[in-house]
Amino acid sequence: MIATFRYEFLMQIRRPVLWIVYGLTFAVIVVTFGQPYAELSMGAGVDRHDPTTAMIVSADLLMLLLPIVYGCLLADRLIRDRRLGVVGVLDATPTGHTSRLIGKYLGTCAATAVPFALAYFGRAVAYAITEGEPSALGWAVAVFVTTTVPALLFVGALALAGPLLMPPMLFQVLFVVYWFWGNLIPPRMMPTLADSILSPNSRYVAYGLFGYRPAQQPPDVLVAPDYYTYGPVSEAALNFLRPEAGVAVALLWIGVMLVLAVSVLSLARLHAIRTES
């Protein structure tokens, strides 16, 4: 498992296309969200001088588009062993399939997350310096571990396993569609998983664990008590998947991401067993 982790990490991080695509996408983010990204403020009145809030906003902005790059770059990793014809030699070693799958999963996901992490922590360091707020670095780690990592673990499993069922190009297209539909579009527009407990891009942890509050009441919140909340969206379908944010629900979301990741990987393993003829 460690051997596979090491070499899969190495092979992925060496791919020039990884750095090029991430670089371009990052440039697009900086150009499109120039102002908010420079200030780390979302809309009116988010307190950008609060390091926790700023780090949440920073992670949020990257989570808009970078997971698409992350998913697409992982799409060929699992199926390529067979395509390249390496699988025979690997299978003839006493190292088990499952431990190789886990090693590959963690190794490729970690490597693919490196540019992501560099962008995020780079911004955190810049923030810490310009704001004179070294505690931002601690918050950056905390936010990354509790929001970005669980999300990327699930998306990574999905991106490795998806191409077992279809050509990787098709998977990449569908994945992009999924990302926009299931994570980014406003829930009132159409039935979507966005902002639900199943969405890797939802903000349960930000609200539930870090007390994130946009300064203005979002217009579409169904229940509007005296604090600003995250959860059911008025007039949206699938609201049963949107419990009201809180500590428990934030932890639940992390658990859901991990369970989804493990389930997808188990399905991939089963698929491999079934196709061994």
Partner 1 sequence: MRIEISRLTKTYRGGVHALDGLDLDVPTGMYGLLGSNGAGKTTLIRILAGLLKPTSGTVHIGGHDIATTAGRLAVQRTLGYLPQDLGVYPDLTARQFLDYIALLKGIDSRTTRRRRIGEFLEVVALTQDADRRLKGFSGGMLRRVGIAQALLADPRLLIVDEPTTGLDPEERIRFRTLLSQLAGERTVLLSTHIVEDVAQTCRLLAVLAKGRLAFTGNVGELVSQADHRVWTLTTPGPAPSHGRVVAAVPEGTGMRYRLIAPTAPDPYARPAEPTLEDGYLALMETGR
Examine residue 91 and tell whether it contacts partner 1 (CB under 8 A). Answer: yes
Examine residue 90 and tell whether it contacts partner 1 (CB under 8 A). Answer: yes
Residue 55: both structure tokens together = 């780090």
Examine residue 95 and tell whether it contacts partner 1 (CB under 8 A). Answer: yes
Examine residue 123 and tell whether it contacts partner 1 (CB under 8 A). Answer: no
Residue 255: both structure tokens together = 């658990």
Query: How far apart are the C-alpha atoms of 276 and 13, rounded to whole Å?
Result: 30
- 115 or 200, CB closer to partner 1? 115
- Listed in sequence order, the residues at least 6 apart from 41 whose beta carbon sits closer than 8 Å to its beta carbon are 48, 54, 57
Q: How far is the CB of 3 from partner 1 (least distance, A)?
A: 3
Query: How far apart are the C-alpha atoms of 276 and 264, rounded to whole Å?
Result: 19
Q: How far is the CB of 102 from partner 1 (least distance, A)?
A: 14
**Are 158 and 165 contacting, i.e. CB atoms less than 8 angstroms apart?**
no
Nearest CA among 95, 73, 83, 75 for reference residue 4: 95
Return the sign of the alpha-carbon dihedral for residues 133, 116, 64, 156: negative
| Four-point Cα dihedral 222, 64, 163, 254, nearest 10 | -60
- 91 or 244, CB closer to partner 1? 91
Examine residue 44 and tell whether it contacts partner 1 (CB under 8 A). Answer: no
Q: How far apart, in Å, are the Cα atoms of 232 and each of 194, 209, 219?
A: 11, 18, 12
- In the chain the beta strands, taken as DSSP E runs, fall at none
Among the listed residues 100, 104, 123, 242, the single contact to partner 1 using CB under 8 A: 100
Binding residues with partner 1: total (CB under 8 A): 24
- 28 or 90, CB closer to partner 1? 90
Examine residue 277 and tell whether it contacts partner 1 (CB under 8 A). Answer: yes
Examine residue 17 and tell whether it contacts partner 1 (CB under 8 A). Answer: no
Segment near partner 1 (CB under 8 A), from 26-34, 60-68, 85-93, 161-169? 85-93
Examine residue 226 and tell whether it contacts partner 1 (CB under 8 A). Answer: no
| Binding track, positions 131-170, relative to partner 1; x by CB under 8 A | ----------------------------------------
Binding footprint of partner 1 on the chain (CB under 8 A): 3-4, 6-7, 10-11, 14-15, 83-95, 100, 276-277
